[in-house]
Structure 1
Amino acid sequence: MLLFDLFVVAHVISGATGLVLFWVPVIARKGAHHHRKWGRLFAYSMMATGTSAIGMGLCTLIAPLPTHPELTDVPLIRGLFGWMMLYLAVLTIGLAWHGLSVVRNKSAHSGNRHWFNVSLQVLTIVAALNCAVQGFIIGQYLMVGVATAGLASAVIYLHFIFRDHPPRMEFLMQHFQASLGAGISVYTAFLAFGAVRLFPHHAFNPAMWAVPTIVGVGLMIYWRLKHTNAWAKRGLPAGKASSSGDLA
Structure 2
Amino acid sequence: MLLLFDTLIALHIVTGLTGAVAFWVPVIGRKGGAGHRKWGRVFCVALMATGCFALAMSLLTLVDPLATHPHLAGRFEPSFIRGIFGWMMLHTAILTLNLTWYGWLCVRNRGDQGRNRTPLNLALQPLVIAAAIACAVDGWLIGQKLMIGIAVVGVATGLTNLWFLARPRPAREDWLKEHVKALVGAGISVYTAFMAFGSVRILPELALHPAMWSAPLAVGLALIIWHRLAIDRAARRLRRGRVEAAA
Partner of 1:106: 110
Superposed displacement of residue 236, structure 1: 7.0
Shift of the 208–108 alpha-carbon distance from structure 1 to 2, 3 Å rule, reads: same
Partner of 1:189: 193
Superposed displacement of residue 6, structure 1: 2.1
Amino acid at match of 1:112: N
Superposed displacement of residue 122, structure 1: 1.4
Q: Write out per-residue CA displacement over residues 10-42 of structure 1, whole angstroms, 9 at most, x where no aligned residue.
A: 111111111111111111111111111101110
Q: Secondary structure at the match of 1:97?
A: helix
Superposed displacement of residue 106, structure 1: 1.3
Q: Secondary structure at the match of 1:235?
A: helix
Distance 1:228 1:108 in 2: 20
Partner of 1:203: 207
Partner of 2:12: 11
Q: Secondary structure at the match of 2:97?
A: helix
Q: Write out per-residue CA displacement over residues 163-197 of structure 1, whole angstroms, 9 at most, x where no aligned residue.
A: 11323421110110100010011111112211222
Amino acid at match of 2:135: C
Amino acid at match of 1:150: G
Amino acid at match of 1:105: N
Amino acid at match of 2:188: I
Q: Secondary structure at the match of 1:43?
A: helix
Distance 1:35 1:198 in 2: 35
Distance 2:109 2:22 in 1: 24
Q: Which has the higher helix share?
A: 2
Distance 2:96 2:30 in 1: 24
Alignment of 1:139 with 2:143, yes or no, is yes
Q: Tell me if structure 1 keeps the 8 A contact 2:176–2:231.
A: no
Alignment of 1:177 with 2:181, yes or no, is yes
Residue from 216, 236, 244 that aligns with 1:232: 236
Shift of the 234–202 alpha-carbon distance from structure 1 to 2, 3 Å rule, reads: same
Greater mean deviation of Cα atoms: 189-198 or 26-35 = 189-198
Q: Secondary structure at the match of 2:147?
A: helix
Q: Write out per-residue CA displacement over residues 81-133 of structure 1, whole angstroms, 9 at most, x where no aligned residue.
A: 11111111111011110111011211522111111101111111110111111
Higher relative contact order (CA 8 A, sep 6+): 1
Partner of 1:58: 59
Distance 2:210 2:239 in 1: 43
**Aligned residues: percent identity?**
50
Q: Secondary structure at the match of 1:19?
A: helix
Q: How does 1:21-36 map to 2 (within 5 A)?
A: 21-36=22-37
Superposed displacement of residue 7, structure 1: 1.4
Distance 2:240 2:226 in 1: 19
- Residue-pair matches, total: 237
Runs of 4+ in 1 over 2 A off after TM superposition: 165-169, 197-203
Q: Tell me if structure 1 keeps the 8 A contact 2:8–2:53.
A: yes
Partner of 2:21: 20
Distance 2:96 2:83 in 1: 18
Alignment of 1:117 with 2:118, yes or no, is no
Scaled by the length of structure 2, what TM-score is found? 0.92
Distance 1:203 1:64 in 2: 16
Partner of 2:92: 88
Partner of 2:42: 41
Superposed displacement of residue 200, structure 1: 3.3
Task: Identify unmatched segments of 5+ residues in structure 2.
Answer: 242-247
Q: Secondary structure at the match of 1:234?
A: helix
Scaled by the length of structure 1, what TM-score is found? 0.91
Greater mean deviation of Cα atoms: 196-205 or 73-82 = 196-205
Superposed displacement of residue 150, structure 1: 1.9
Distance 2:45 2:26 in 1: 13
